[in-house]
């Protein structure tokens, strides 16, 4: 069975007169969130076969930090087409993935990643849907079980959102400042 992981890049610094959107880097919080997400995925004993990543700087940094937290060296394909892709474009990219890949991660941008998750999350637990109802903040990842043997067969009506990892859950301070 094929497993799909959809990840929005971690929090980035704002663009400026000297740094355009494509070149933006991760903020310190973004670096921390991405690294922690990798650690969470490692604790889940998750193995990723291939990462397809936007070639924007912040997505590449997110991928590097997640892999560092996972303590895995994962084959990564950087693609400028992911930067401006629609949900349909990403869906086609998934369908075209080599069937030797059992677990695929896509690291991209909103609103596209959230739109694709929304289309592929045909079923899932109440907790998963409650989490998705609050939007898709930076460094949020959804794990989708596809129920297929070939990526070309992916069908949104047969996919199940198994888990959502949001940084407010996996990397929240022990004692939130608003409670102090």
Q: Is the pTM for the entire model greater than 0.85?
A: yes
Is the pLDDT at 178 greater than 70? The verdict is no
Answer whether residue 179 is part of any domain: no
CATH of the domain at 98: 3.40.50.1240
Q: Mean per-residue pLDDT for 55-84?
A: 96
Answer whether residue 180 is part of any domain: no
Answer whether residue 174 is part of any domain: no
Give exposure, 8-38, as e/b (b: 16+ Cβ within 10 Å): bbbbbeeeeeeeeeeebebbeebbbbbbbbb
Q: Is the peptide bond before 42 cis (omega within 30 degrees of 0)?
A: no
- Dump pLDDT digits (tens) for 142-170: 999 999 999 999 999 999 999 999 998 89
Domain of residue 102 covers 3-13+22-164
Work out how many domains the chain is built from and give that number.
Answer: 1
CA distance 133 to 92: 25
Q: Mean per-residue pLDDT for 84-91?
A: 96
């Amino acid at each position: 069975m094929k497993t799909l992981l959809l990840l929005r890049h971690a929090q980035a610094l704002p663009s400026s007169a000297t740094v355009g959107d494509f070149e933006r880097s991760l903020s310190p919080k973004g670096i921390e969130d991405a690294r922690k997400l990798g650690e969470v995925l490692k604790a889940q004993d998750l193995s990723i076969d291939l990462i397809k990543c936007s070639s924007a700087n912040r997505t590449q940094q997110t991928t590097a930090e997640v892999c560092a937290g996972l303590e895995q060296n994962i084959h990564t394909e950087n693609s400028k087409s992911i930067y401006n892709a629609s949900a349909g474009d990403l869906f086609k990219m998934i369908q075209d993935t080599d069937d030797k890949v059992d677990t695929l991660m896509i690291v991209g941008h909103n609103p596209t990643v959230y739109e694709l998750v929304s289309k592929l999350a045909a079923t899932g637990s109440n907790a998963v849907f409650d989490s998705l109802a609050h939007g898709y903040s930076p460094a949020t990842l959804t794990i989708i079980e596809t129920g297929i043997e070939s990526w070309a067969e992916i069908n949104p009506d047969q996919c199940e959102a198994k888990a959502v990892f949001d940084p407010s859950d996996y990397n929240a301070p022990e004692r939130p400042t608003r409670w102090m």
